[in-house]
Amino acid sequence: MKAFLTPSVIRFLVINGYRYCLSKTDETSQSHAAVRITLTPVKNRPSVYHLTQGYDTCFSIMHEPLQMARGIHNTEVLINLEDHDLKGYNDSISFV
C-alpha cells in the first residue's frame, strides 16, 4: 500500500526497526508534481552494488527520507507500506 511520506510515518518506521529506504524516481503527470519518488523501507542495509531491480539508490531513513517528508517543491514522495506494518500505526496516513 502506498502512502504519502510524513515525519510521523518516518517516526513510526524507525520505532519498528526500519533503518534504510530503497528509492525509485519516476516522472509523473500529476498537476501538483513533475517527479515521483517512491521509497520502500527496509530494516537491513542493502548492498549499493546489487540493489533490488527497479530501485535507483538507498538512503538512511534518518537523512534524505526525513528531509523529503518535509516536502520537496514539485515532487510527490510516497512510501510503500505493508499491511502488517500498519496495524500498530495510530496516526493518520494519507493513502494514494
In a domain? residue 94: no
What pLDDT sits at residue 34?
Answer: 87
In a domain? residue 70: yes
In a domain? residue 29: yes
**Region of 43 on the Ramachandran plot (φ > 0 left; ψ -120 to 50 alpha; else beta):** alpha
Spatial separation of the C-alpha atoms in residues 69 and 48, rounded to whole Å:
23
Q: How many domains does the chain have?
A: 1
In a domain? residue 48: yes
Domain that residue 56 falls in: 2-86
In a domain? residue 69: yes
pLDDT by residue for the chain (96 residues), tens only, comes to 888 899 989 998 998 899 999 999 998 877 778 899 999 999 999 887 888 888 999 999 999 998 999 988 889 999 998 777 666 665 556 666
What pLDDT sits at residue 68?
Answer: 92
In a domain? residue 92: no
What pLDDT sits at residue 88?
Answer: 64
